[in-house]
Structure 1
């Protein structure tokens, strides 16, 4: 199936998605990599309020290349980064914030249970930085630029961002795990 969803996402939006479905997103999404995830969790520990709202949000694992022109930011490239690096922080993040979707490449490890009835993982093909940039209509703002351009949280306005493949749905189905199991089974038959 193919779906066009608008942020902020609701539980009903992600509840209908199944591993293997295609999704296009419109609305606001946030980039966040390792350092941003760590700061979000630190701020929770310190009981500090985030400068952005993650409820119903989409986090894009991306370290974009941006250009500033007359006080406005423009996207040069915004391809996905490897999501597995954020796997360890994701269960806690989902425990404290109602993030509805993560977008990245390569899948995530040991997050399926944490995502159950809460969130989905959407895979974006690696090497598509220019395609991703085309779908980004505007940079709304940037948070935590002190972390550096790729690690900052960029608030992006997107239109028909995708195609994204549901890699992990909210019903405990992990497309990456299934492919890995099938590949191992096929390989074992060759031995």
Structure 2
């Protein structure tokens, strides 16, 4: 297990060096996207259109932030992860179309996303659940927001961060998925009793 400090954009080579169990901190630009934002971005891509921000080499954070506008600027008050499993039906195509390198969330993802991460050279990293205050402390500023018509938590927030983390790589580009390993071990144990 190693520790890395990454700055966006992240190259495929950088992502492929990361292994399950590694701890990473991310600086640069992070883009929030939940299920509605994933759907809209994919609908655009299927029509040959581009989303409002280039995601290649980027970090997508499964997060519905709590944001308030103060003095003409957006300020983030809540920046914790949301459960990633509900993006599972969309994430493989999202990774393929947009070539993101790091997906951050909580609760893990499954076989199809694991295969896409392996194929396209990306990783999934877990942010500690219940540690929104820690995530907020990494926020330098909000650079922009897109698709506010989806609502505050579903909009795409473009955020500059410094040392977002600690994030644990739980699915790497070799196909190792710590969530599936735990699930398999639990099933094996349950079968032995």
- Could you state the TM-score of these two structures normalised by the residue count of structure 2? 0.96
C-alpha deviations, 1:77-132, integer Å up to 9, x for none?
A: 11000001111111111221111010000001221111114210000111111111
1:19 paired to 2:20: yes
DSSP 3-state at the match of 1:30: strand
| Matches for 1:97-112 after TM superposition, within 5 Å | 97-110=98-111, 111-112=113-114
Question: Which TM-score applies when normalising by structure 1?
Answer: 0.97
Please name the residue that 1:133 is paired with: 136
**Secondary structure at 2:5 match in 1:** strand
CA contact (8 A) 2:34 2:64 kept: yes
Report how far residue 186 of structure 1 moved: 2.5
In structure 1, stretches of 5+ residues that fail to align are none
Query: How far apart, CA to CA, are the structure 2 residues paired with 1:172 and 1:109?
Result: 11
The SS at the match of 2:37 is helix
2:180 equivalent in structure 1: 177
* Matches for 1:139-178 after TM superposition, within 5 Å: 139-178=142-181
Cα distance, 1:183 vs structure 2: 2.1
Consecutive unaligned residues of structure 2, counting only runs of 5 or more, are none
Q: CA RMSD in A?
A: 0.9
Residue-by-residue CA offset, 1:13-65 (whole Å, 9 max, x unaligned):
11111101101000001000010000000101222222101010100000000
Deviation at 1:66, TM superposition (A): 0.3
Query: Which residue is equivalent to 2:124?
Result: 121
1:81 corresponds to: 82
Shift, 1:172, TM fit: 0.5
SS at match of 1:170: coil
Q: Which moved more, 1:168-177 or 1:115-124?
A: 115-124
| Count of residues paired in the alignment | 190
